[in-house]
Amino acid sequence: MKYGGGAYLAVCTLFAYYYHMTQRVSHSLEETAQIAHEWLEAVSKAPATGATVVGLSGHLGAGKTAFTKCIAQELGITEDVTSPTFVIMKIYPVDLSKGFPWKKLVHIDAYRLEQGRELAAIDFEKYAADACNLILIEWPENVKEMVEGIEAYKEIKFSVGEKDTERVVGF
């Protein structure tokens, strides 16, 4: 790599500052869980007319699925959350006693998709219209024609930090 990890992190931090993004560095899965907790608290207070649709972008191993697992835990989902790379979409019922505004967590992995319209085959638009859904999409760049049209679409950017156990989360 041409630049060291420190320089890369500095560039990312400047970028985040410029675009009013929050950038957090996690040094462990526990810290990632804490970041997921805080993000969820904030986003659950933002009213949405349809589903809350969030793209998780970043390279393989950057922590998109790990973050999704943390979100699932916060939502009281006890089922094991694994990457839906082959089935594309998995839906988990949220524990309503946790007090979040959603009834379902919809986890989509668009890694194997090439165009947004391929999401039509899994009824994406129906799920996206329903305010009871929190939809997390890995590899959103593969389906950007579909997600960009969503009014309150958000993105979280993941990258590997300087150490093996370091992950940078930007939102």
Ligand X SMILES: Nc1ncnc2c1ncn2[C@@H]1O[C@H](COP(=O)(O)OP(=O)(O)O)[C@@H](O)[C@H]1O
Instruction: Note the residues at the interface with ligand X (CB under 6 A).
Output: 26-29, 31-32, 58, 60-66, 138, 158, 165, 167
Distance, in Å, from the CA atom of 4 to the CA atom of 137, rounded to the nearest integer, reads 30
Report how many residues bind Mg ion under the rule CB under 5 A. 4
Residue 4's binding partner among Mg ion, ligand X, none (Cβ under 5 to 8 angstroms by kind) is: none
- Rounded to the nearest 10°, the torsion over CA 85, 86, 87, 89 is 20
| 57: contact with Mg ion by CB under 5 A | no
Task: Provide the minimum distance between the beta carbon of 49 and Mg ion in the complex, in angstroms, as a whole number.
Answer: 28
Residues 6+ apart with CB under 8 A from 44: 100, 101, 102
29 binds, among Mg ion, ligand X, none (CB under 5 to 8 A by kind): ligand X
For residue 40, give both structure tokens.
Answer: 């969820």
Structure tokens belonging to residue 68: 């999704």
Shortest Å, Cβ 108 to ligand X: 12
Using CB positions, name the residue nearest to Mg ion.
65
Q: Distance between CA atoms of 167 and 25, rounded to whole angstroms?
A: 6
Residue 61 Cβ vs Mg ion, minimum distance, rounded to whole Å: 8
